Amino acid sequence: MDLDLKRAIKIGGKKHAYTDIQKMYDNEDFNVVYIATPHYLHKPMIKQAFEEGKHVLCEKPVSISIEDAREITQLDKKFSSLKLGFNYNYRYDHNCFYLASGIQNSHLGKIYYANCNIYFSREMDYFNRAIWRTKKETAGGGTLLIHGSHIVDTMLWALGEPISVMGKIDTLKFKNIKVEDLALGIVEFQSGAYAQINDASFIKPALSIFKEKVELQIFGEKGYCHYKGPWPVSSLKWKGVKNFKIKKNTKGFSHFGRSIKAFGNWVLYDKPFFNTVEESSKVLSLISALYKSSDTGKKEKVEKL
């Protein structure tokens, strides 16, 4: 289903393409809905899919606010026989999986500090193609929520519960948008570790041929690790310790494909899926606190669902 019928036909063919979502539900027999729409539509579309008896895989982020995430969590509990997952697919990049598993298993010992860098190269045509990305009320945020949340999610997966954040956002290049193109933050974790977030969407020239590059460095008492990505050129290096070894969690060519496959295995065989609403809401909580801190100029608590 797409408001642009030509785009819908490209994927569904003429017999299975719709511009009206209710007609799709009424005419088709299927089990799972994949939601890849502007962020502000996630909550009502998840609700509608549940009411139609469908499992849901939704693109990140969970929604545009913590309040929405809480409502979605309640819907997930209400429709407990249906699965709800979010496509934070970096968790299915093998190198991100090795990194998080290693940190969780104390491979670096006590963690002191992490550095999370997000470098994207965008131009105004990126926003002109999808005007909803330019507004807080439809996107929920700018570069940190749209671009950076994938690797920030990986950082949280590795380091655990954040308790507070100091943040600063600004719009330096794209003056005619209402969301940030620069985001900076310092995060304090329950463990006593700290992390720095550095996210910009105006890097020129681009740091990679994919016009995007992320890094996550984690420093502990025994050594450090350094992830560069995303796939297909991701890498992970351990310094001061041996490489951390663990069985791969899911087979498949790409992290995106492995995420889709893992969701299918969750629906069909009840095998655990990394990206539940509870897990995926943690990054929204952190980013919301960073936005609030930028507004207040104060350190802000990271709320839990």
pLDDT in tens, 108-156: 999 999 999 999 999 999 999 999 999 999 999 999 999 999 999 999 9
pLDDT band at residue 232 using 50, 70 and 90 as cut-offs:
confident
The reported pLDDT for the residue numbered 74 is 98
User: Do 145 and 234 fall within a single domain?
Assistant: yes
Question: How many independent structural domains does the chain possess?
Answer: 2
pTM over 0.85: yes
DSSP 75-120: HHHHTTTS-EEE--GGGGSHHHHHHHHHHHTTTTSSEEEEEEEEEE
4, 19, 26, 157, 243 from 9: Cα distances, Å: 9, 10, 18, 38, 47
Domain ends where: 86, 118, 150? 86
Mean pLDDT, the chain, whole residue set = 97
Domain that holds residue 73: 5-86
* Assigned domain for 263 exists: no
The reported pLDDT for the residue numbered 230 is 87
CA distance 257 to 262: 9
Q: Beta strands of the chain (E only): which ranges?
A: 32-35, 55-58, 84-86, 111-120, 162-170, 182-189, 194-200, 212-220, 224-229, 235-239, 300-301
Domain ends where: 51, 86, 121? 86
User: Do 120 and 44 fall within a single domain?
Assistant: no
Name the strands in the sheet holding 84-86, side by side, starting at the edge strand that comes first in the sequence. Answer: 32-35, 55-58, 84-86
- Span 33-71, pLDDT tens digits: 999 999 999 999 999 999 999 999 999 999 999 999 999
**What CATH number corresponds to the domain at position 113?**
3.30.360.10
Torsion from C-alpha of 136, 139, 144, 149, nearest 10 degrees: 150
